[in-house]
């Protein structure tokens, strides 16, 4: 059973404006954002036993999601820094 809400807004509430702006204006960010949320939903379905998957598959999904989270966080951090220096 999932313990936390892993939505990007929940993970990084301080980047709410940047998340919205990048989703609207940056197709690369939007694609990664969509993939992150797809994986989050898949992991939640596996944890709720709605979807059957091996432990190895679940762990691979979690690793991919973590990599995406790191990439998205880096993009958000850079966007915020650019806004602050503009």
Instruction: Please tell me the predicted confidence (pLDDT) of residue 3.
Output: 53
Instruction: Say if CB 58 and CB 43 are below 8 A apart.
Output: yes
Residues 6+ apart with CB under 8 A from 15: 76, 77, 79, 80
Q: Identify the pLDDT of residue 38.
A: 96
Q: Give the pLDDT of residue 1.
A: 46
In the chain, where are the structural domains located?
16-85
pLDDT at 27: 98
Minimal CA–CA distance to 75: which of 9, 26, 2, 6? 26
Locate all alpha helices (DSSP H) within the chain, ordered by sequence: 8-11, 16-25, 27-47, 55-85
pTM over 0.85: yes
Q: What is the pLDDT tens value at each position of the chain, 86 positions in all?
A: 445 789 999 999 999 999 999 999 999 999 999 999 999 999 999 999 999 999 999 999 999 999 999 999 999 999 999 999 97
């Amino acid at each position: 059973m999932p313990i936390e809400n892993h939505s990007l807004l929940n993970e990084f509430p301080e980047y709410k404006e940047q998340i919205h702006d990048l989703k609207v204006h940056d197709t690369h960010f939007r694609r990664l954002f969509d993939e992150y949320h797809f994986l989050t939903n898949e992991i939640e379905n596996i944890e709720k036993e709605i979807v059957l998957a091996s432990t190895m598959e679940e762990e691979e999904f979690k690793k991919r999601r973590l990599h995406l989270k790191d990439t998205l966080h880096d993009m958000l951090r850079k966007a915020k820094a650019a806004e602050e220096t503009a």
